Amino acid sequence: MIQNHCRCDNNIIHAMMHYAPMAAFAAMAYTVGQYGAHSLLELTELLICFYLTCIVFIVVLLGSVLYFVLGLSVFKVIQYFKTEIFIVFATSSSETVMPNLLEKLIELGCDKSVVDLVIPTGYSFNLDGTAIYLTLAALFIAQATNSHITLEQQIFLLLIMIISSKGAAGVTGSGFIILASSLAAIGTIPVAGVVIILGVDRFMSSGRSLTNMIGNAIVVLIISKWQKSINMKRVHEKLA
C-alpha cells in the first residue's frame, strides 16, 4: 500500500514537472498575444528592477547593518553560504537548505538556541524577498492595466503587501498565490492582471528565495551579537 502511494505521488510530481514548461510557455504566449511583443521588454525591465532591488537591499541595507553591528563583510557571509545559495537559486525554494543553514550557522559560532528559534521563525515572518516581489509586481500590474492609484493607495498597498508576505509557505510559487489573493482582497488593481507576470514568475521566484535565505542568515548573526551568544573568534576564522 505504501509503495502504491509513493508510486502515485511520483507520477503526480513527474506529470507536474513534465507540463510545467508548457504552462509557462502558454502564459508567456497569452501575455504577448494580449498585450503585444513590447510586453516582453517590459517584463525584462521588471526582472532587472526586481533583482537590482534585491541586490541593493542585501548589499547596502543588510550589509551596512552587518558591518556596523559585527564588523563583517556581507560578501564574506555570502561566500560562506555559496553552496546553499546555488541550491536555492536552482530550486526556487529556501526550505531546501534549511537544515544545512541551521548547521552552518552553528558551526559559524552562533548559539544553537538562537539559531533554532530565529531561522524557523524567520522563514515564516521575515521574508524580505517576498515583500519586495509583491510590491514591485503589484505596481507593475497596476501600470500594465492602467489602474490609477493615488499616493495614499500606494502606501496602503505597500503595507498590505508587507503584511501579506508574513506567514507565506516556504514552497516555490507561493508568492504568486499571495499576490493574487492580496490583489483580490484590495480590489484596486484587477486580479486578472497577475497573468501578465506569470511567465516570468519562475525567474523572480529564485531571486526572492535567495533574498529570504540571505536575510534570515544575517538576522541570526545580528541577533546572536545582540544576545551576546556568538563566538566572534570562530566567526572570523570561518569567514577568513
The pair phi, psi for residue 37, each rounded to 5°, is: -65, -25
C-alpha cell at 126: 521575515
- Report d(CA 199, CA 201) in Å as an integer: 6
Burial class (CB in 10 A: 0-12, 13-18, 19+), 41: exposed
Q: How many CB atoms lie within 10 A of CB 152?
A: 8
> pTM here?
0.81
Q: 225 near 235, Cβ under 8 Å?
A: no
User: What cell numbers appear for 187 in the block?
Assistant: 480590489
**pLDDT at residue 146 greater than cutoff 60:** yes
Sign of the Cα torsion 207, 95, 83, 100 reads positive
Q: Can you name the residues that pair with 230 across neighbouring β-strands?
A: 110
Confidence of residue 93 (pLDDT cuts 50, 70, 90): confident
pLDDT band at 62 (very low <50, low <70, confident <90, very high): very high
What is the reported pLDDT for 218? 94
Q: Name which of 215, 211, 209 is nearest 91 in CA terms.
A: 209
- Lowest model confidence (mean pLDDT) among 98-102, 103-107, 137-141, 145-149: 145-149
pLDDT class of 205 with cuts at 50, 70, 90: confident
Question: What one-character-per-residue DSSP string does 197-232 give?
Answer: GGGGHHHHHHHHHHHHHHHHHHHHHHHHHHTT-B-H
Mean pLDDT of 81-90: 90
